[in-house]
A = this chain, B = another copy of it.
């Protein structure tokens, strides 16, 4: 049973069994973290590279007046701070959104992996480039999409990313997310997100019920004009 890191990186490069073993061995250190807890703070210079294995986390920044902007969602398989070998210090913070399982490996160990395995090196590079592609797509959304399509687009993205690491249950994907977190991601107010979700539920885009779920991804994608190309996932997996 591969961990979600392995499962994700397979999309970036074909990994040999040895690669996969080396990866899981490096990230041996496991830690259960409760919800709403900072993993890394802006300004830190972490000595370890972290990854989410189970649960959900986010990158975020706070503005001087205390408002929060979420900059990335970290689903199982995502790395928190791959850049730490190159950039001097964190320019944002990372926190869990729900109780999560976090693994970590010493920076040096990751550098070794990259040096010895070209496939792993490419896969990790791929991971950071996909992060960047997601940011670009978010900017398009924030700049040019109305709120309802923005919300639908985010739900599509999360559903696809979660199912790419095996988090879908009989065709549907559960999103254990508060409306405030969606609002802080899209630059909207929680009140407005609430009204948008009601409309989406009313039109049958997402199932009724308090718990947020994506069931009919086709329908939602069509409405959101969602094109998964920017996620650069391997269609064969």
A: which residues have CB within 8 A of B? 12, 59, 61, 63-64, 67, 69, 71-72, 83, 86-89, 91-92, 122, 125-126, 128-133, 135-140, 142-145, 184-187, 225, 229-230, 232
Asked if residues A71 and B144 are in contact (CB atoms below 8 Å), the reply is no
* Residue of A67, A135, A139 with most partner-chain B CB within 10 A: A139
What is the CA–CA distance of A229 and B71 in the complex, to the nearest angstrom? 17
Which chain B residue has the least Cβ–Cβ distance from A184?
B143
Establish whether residues B61 and A136, one from each chain, have CB atoms under 8 Å apart when the complex forms.
yes
Q: Which of B87, B88, B91, B186 contacts A143 (CB 8 A)?
A: B186
| Selected contact of A144 from candidates B59, B63, B140, CB within 8 Å | B63
Q: Contact check, B225 vs A122: say whether CB atoms are below 8 A apart.
A: no
User: A86 touches which one: B86, B125, B135, B142 (CB < 8 A)?
Assistant: B125
Shortest Cβ distance from A137 into chain B, in angstroms? 8
How far, in Å, is A106 (CB) from chain B's closest CB? Answer: 18
Complex alpha-carbon distance, A145 and B229, angstroms: 29
